[in-house]
Amino acid sequence: MIEEIAKQTNEKMDKCVNQLKKELANVRTGRANPMILDKVLVDYYGAPTGLRQLAQVSVSEGTTLVITPFDKTILKEIEKAIVKAEIGITPQSDGVVIRLSFPPLTQDRRKELAKEVKALGEDAKVAIRNVRRDSTDAVKKLEKSQNLPEDAIKDGTDKVQKITDKFIKIVDETVSLKEKEVMEI
């Protein structure tokens, strides 16, 4: 039963880390990243549709995203959706493709983004600690319901703590890498 709790703890904490990675992918750095367009929804024949389902997105010269729609008639709708999504970049259209040029970040903006990255990391750590608390409570409930010895309960809580330490370390490394990426010119 303790093994099952450890397995569930591992899965839940892995989800926390994956969520952090998704959120960090949306933090804008000086480089063009197609992931920033994941939240852009285009009104395609009355249905909100993800931009990356309607167009090919490629990176040009490291600082420009080139959006080539599969259906040229929705070029204007894609432009409107990008402006509406408020990603901080104005789309430029030439009638065939849309270009998004990422301007270089100022030092102040880089520091703000680094703080934002740290805050996202702290949120992920809080989520991981909440999973740890729930798992530890579940192990302690086993002691009462199945009359397990104290040593087994201690081993169970130690196992949960080791899993927690592992995932906290992963979060710290992920945040550190993203901070370096944000701060590099």
pLDDT average, residue stretch 70-97: 86
Neighbours of 117 (CB within 10 A): 25
Has residue 139 got a pLDDT over 70?
yes
pLDDT at 143: 78
Architecture of domain 34-101: 2-Layer Sandwich (3.30)
pLDDT at 161: 93
pLDDT average, residue stretch 75-93: 85
pLDDT at 25: 80
pLDDT average, residue stretch 154-159: 90
pLDDT average, residue stretch 165-172: 94
Helix (H, G, I), strand (E, B) or coil at 185: coil
pLDDT at 119: 94
Q: In the CATH hierarchy, which top-level class contains the domain 2-26+106-183? A: mainly alpha
> What is the pTM assigned to this prediction?
0.71
150-183 and 2-25 helices, crossing angle to 10°: 10
Has residue 174 got a pLDDT over 90?
yes
Lowest-confidence segment of 10-24, 28-42, 130-144, 151-165 by average pLDDT:
28-42
Angle at 173 between CA 165 and CA 117, to 5 degrees: 110
Has residue 156 got a pLDDT over 90?
no
Pairwise CA distance, residues 36 & 23, whole Å: 10
Helix (H, G, I), strand (E, B) or coil at 94: coil
185 Cα distance to chain centroid:
22
pLDDT at 185: 65
Residue 169 vs residue 84, higher pLDDT: 169
pLDDT at 147: 76
Residue 109 vs residue 4, higher pLDDT: 4
Report the percent of the chain where pLDDT is more than 90.
31
The 3-state secondary structure of 15-81 reads HHHHHHHHHHHCCCCCCCCHHHHCCCEEEECCEEEEHHHHEEEEEECCCEEEEEECCHHHHHHHHHH
Has residue 159 got a pLDDT over 80?
yes
List the domain boundaries for the chain. 2-26+106-183, 34-101
Helix (H, G, I), strand (E, B) or coil at 143: helix
